[in-house]
Structure formats: structure tokens, C-alpha cells
Amino acid sequence: MEAIFDWIAATPINSFVLDSAWTWPTLETLHFIGLCLLMGALLVMDLRLIGFERAIPLKAVHSLMPLAIGGFVINLVTGVLFVFGDPHRYGINLAFQLKMLLVLLAGLNFWLYYAKVEPRLATLGPTDATPPLAKTVGAVSLVVWFGVLAFGRLIPYIGTG
């Protein structure tokens, strides 16, 4: 692992992130904006899946997916740049490792949504109740993503090595 961190630290991306004092705060600000877009879209989509507001047509709620994916992509790009900027710090950080584990879980949950839940929703009327699997996937998504947010914010404080 140490060799990988050293290699990352020697890349031009590392110097891009570190050379200007403004780059890191700018990336952080973008990371915050991206998480707001992702979580805002997820709150509406997942709460509809759980059954909180059935007046929202199921198809309409799906129109928020580009906002969620857009927010995620902003955070993927800025997040990768953080790791390239300070690989040794993130590599050994417990909160970061737990955060990545939860991102992986969120990814599996997202796959479950597309493979099993979405096809079922397509057969339902716009304001129908959702099946139990849809409720579970929605609840897991919210819990896991808020966990990602919490562990991300705790990176400076937990398991810093």
C-alpha cells in the first residue's frame, strides 16, 4: 500500500491539488455543494419509495435521478482529487475507510434498485403504494448515504493514525 501512496504523491495531480492554496478549499466547497444536490434528490426519491408522500407520481420522482447522479459525480471527482492530494493521510484513516465501505454498500443498493425495484415500479400506477423491497431499498439508501456524509465529516477526528 505504501508504494501506491508514494506513487500517487508523485503524480502531477498531487501537485495540481497542493500547489495553489486555493485549490483545496475550492474542492471542499464543490464537495459540499455536490453532497447537498445528491442528498436533496435522494431525500425526495427515497422518502417516496418508503411511502412518505404518495401524491408524488413515481415517474416524477425518478426525474430527480440526474440531479442525484450529477451531485455524486461532482463528489467523485473532487473526492478522488483529495485522495491524490494527500494519499498517506486518507490511506490510513479509519473514518475514510468506513466511508468508502458505505459508498460501496450504497452502490450495491443502487444496483438492487435498478435490477429489482425499478422494473416493479414501472408496472404500478403513479400514486400506488410501493412494494416492501422498494421501501427497504429506500430506507437503506438514506441510512447509508447519511452515514457516508457523517464519516466523511469525521475524517479529521476518527482514526487519524
Binding site for another protein (CB under 8 A): 25, 28-29, 32-33, 35-44, 47, 52-53, 55-57, 59-61, 63-64, 67, 146, 149-150, 152-154, 157-158
- Smallest distance from another protein to CB 45, Å: 10
- Smallest distance from another protein to CB 150, Å: 5
- Smallest distance from another protein to CB 5, Å: 25
- For 78-113, the three-class secondary structure string (H helix, E strand, C coil) is HHHHHHHHCHHHHHCCHHHHHHHHHHHHHHHHHHHH
Q: Which three cell numbers stand for residue 118?
A: 425499478
Instruction: Read off the DSSP letter of residue 20.
Output: S
Q: 39 or 133: whose CB is closer to another protein?
A: 39
Q: 54 or 116: whose CB is closer to another protein?
A: 54
Please name the residues in contact with 67: beta carbons below 8 A apart, sequence gap of 6 or more. Answer: 37, 38, 40, 41
Q: 85 or 152: whose CB is closer to another protein?
A: 152
Q: What is the dihedral of CA 160, 90, 143, 116, to 10 degrees?
A: -150
- Smallest distance from another protein to CB 107, Å: 19
Beta carbons of 95 and 155 less than 8 angstroms apart: yes
Q: Which three cell numbers stand for residue 157?
A: 477526528
Q: 5 or 159: whose CB is closer to another protein?
A: 159
